[in-house]
Amino acid sequence: MKGIIFTEFLELVEAKFGLVMVDKIINQSELDSGGAYTSVGTYEFNEMLQLISNLSNNTDISVDDLLLVYSEHLFKALITAHPNLVEHFKDPMSLLATIENHIYVEVQKIYPEAQLPTFILEERTATKMVMVYKSDKALYMLGKGLMMETFKLFKVKATITFDKLNDKGTEVRFFINKL
Confidence of residue 170 (pLDDT cuts 50, 70, 90): very high
53 in the same domain as 93: no
pLDDT tens digits, one per residue of 103-118: 777 777 777 777 788 9
- Do 95 and 166 sit in the same domain of this protein? yes
pLDDT of residue 105: 73
State which of 18, 42, 61 marks the end of a domain: 61
Total number of residues shown for the chain: 179
Point out which residues pair with 158 in neighbouring strands.
178
Number of domains in the chain: 2
Query: Of 61, 81, 101, at which residue does a domain stop?
Result: 61
Taking the C-alpha atoms of residue 157 and residue 61, their distance in angstroms, rounded to an integer, is: 26
How many whole angstroms separate alpha carbon 46 and alpha carbon 38? 17
The answer on 117 and 39 residing in a single domain is: no
Q: Examine residue 74 and state whether it is found in any structural domain, yes or no.
A: no
C-alpha distances in angstroms, 9 versus 42, 114, 151?
A: 14, 16, 22
**Which domain does 48 fall in, by range?**
3-61
The pLDDT of residue 36 is above 80:
yes
What pLDDT, on the 0 to 100 scale, is given for residue 116? 83
pLDDT in tens, 102-161: 777 777 777 777 778 899 999 999 999 999 999 999 999 999 999 999 999 999 999 999
